[in-house]
Amino acid sequence: MSLRVAGRCAGAFFLLAFVAYGVGSALPGQPAGAALVALNSALVAAIGALAFRALRPGAAWGYLVARGAEAFLLAAGLVLRDSAGAGAADIVYQAAMLSLGLGSVPFCLALARQRWLPRWLAGWGAAGYALLAAGAAAELSGIRVGFAPAAPGGLFELVFGVLLLARGFAPATGGRPDPTGGAPSSAAGAGDTRVWRAARAAGVGLLLMAILAGLATFGVVQRLAAADAAGATGLPLSHQRALVLAVVALLAVACLDVLVAWALRAFLADAGRAVALLAAWCRTGYAVVFAVAITHLVAAAGLLRDGGTDRIDAGVRARIADFEEVWSVGLLLFGVHLLLIGWLAWRSAAVPTWVAALVAVAGAGYLADSIGALVPAAYPVQVATVTFVGEVVLMGWLLGFAARRRPGRRADRDAGRARQAQPA
């Protein structure tokens, strides 16, 4: 499929998704409405996949994951509205809009850089999506802002859809943009840059995940699960608002899991392409299971919102327990992923053997804990509380590798050596 055809398909999907969700959301509780909202989710995911072909790798992956998260959350809203109430459905809707807004701002800027869109139109889109994300964040924080923040982004999607339908992904001015940005580079230099970018993306992604997951899991979820009969947790925020913020942080972690999975595939592909691909899909599958687990926390937050109380009752505790149970099942895939990454790192010439060994041990720890949680007898230990150090070591090593092997610094160093080698 050419870029022009892909762009026209994306334009048609933009317009169809707009109509499908608008009509479907106006028919709550009816089969036709549910079918239209589900169709919208499929179209949204397809838009991300089609745009992936037209963008450079960084913006392409971000937009694809953001659109995938939006599609998942909008579909989850159908289930949560029936099982957990309108409060939970509103939370996932606002989270979906936050994902769309945050993922689409760099998408619009990338379109302007690659000359797929006039700068004024790309600027309109970036501003509209930024306003959409701000409005969604305000709603999730408990501040009612209404429909107004979504209007500029919605109008942009209509204009953009019509434009794509007319001409597809084609430069706004003559000439196809150079995907390398016009900079001459050798195959070896391009390979070094690819590896460096992959290491940087994986290292930064792991660092952000550690911060967000730690704050959400240990700072909110576990404290709510351990609340006493009076519901006292010592949290500075209301339980409902704290749980919503934890949900947003954990959804960001799930998205980062996907980005890190494919960054590691790019970094370690030379050690075994088939195994690197399998490892990436294992972590992607884990991210999907993790996202499903997070919907149980959304249901808990919805129960608090709809009930008009901040008390942690048995229903909320049951939802939090469901989250932990589903997450534990997903960690089976995560353990397999780390074992495969450890094997690839051991084969790689760039990664030290001791780092590879620690990563593999971390994977074995997650596998042991996940399998132990499934057996009928009580599982007395949590091995991953010790072996997780392998993940931290991998994160630190990737960040150090990216800092040491930055292509610009390496080019400057090589140029300096060449000048010194020249005769006076």
Tens of each residue's pLDDT in the chain, 424 residues = 777 888 889 899 999 998 998 898 888 778 888 899 899 999 999 999 988 877 777 788 899 999 999 999 999 988 888 888 888 889 999 999 999 999 999 999 988 888 888 889 999 999 999 999 999 999 998 888 888 888 999 899 999 999 988 888 776 554 444 444 444 444 455 567 888 889 999 999 999 999 999 999 988 888 887 765 555 555 655 777 888 999 999 999 999 999 999 999 999 999 999 999 999 999 999 999 999 999 999 998 888 877 666 566 777 888 888 998 899 999 999 999 999 999 999 999 899 999 999 999 999 988 888 887 776 666 666 777 777 888 999 999 999 999 987 775 554 454 444 444 444 4
- Report the C-alpha dihedral over residues 9, 10, 13, 15, rounded to 10 degrees: -110
Quick one: pLDDT at residue 424? Answer: 45
Residue 161 has φ and ψ, to the nearest 5°, of -60, -45
- Specify the pLDDT at position 178: 46
CA distance 63 to 111: 12
CB 43 within 8 A of CB 10: no
Q: At what angle do helices 314-347 and 273-307 cross, to 10 degrees?
A: 170
What's the confidence (pLDDT) of residue 176? Answer: 46
Q: State the burial class of residue 51 (Cβ atoms within 10 Å of its Cβ: 0-12, 13-18, 19+).
A: buried
> For position 171, what pLDDT does the model report?
67
The pLDDT value recorded for residue 340 is 96
**Closest residue by Cα to residue 23 from 34, 13, 33, 12:** 33
3-state DSSP helix/strand/coil % of the chain, to nearest 5: 80, 0, 20
pLDDT of residue 53: 78
Torsion of CA 158, 15, 128, 291, to 10 degrees: 180
The two tokens of residue 367 are 């596998």
Phi-psi region of 85 (alpha: psi -120 to 50; beta: other; left: phi over 0): left
- pTM of the entire structure? 0.86
Strands in 268-346 per DSSP E: none
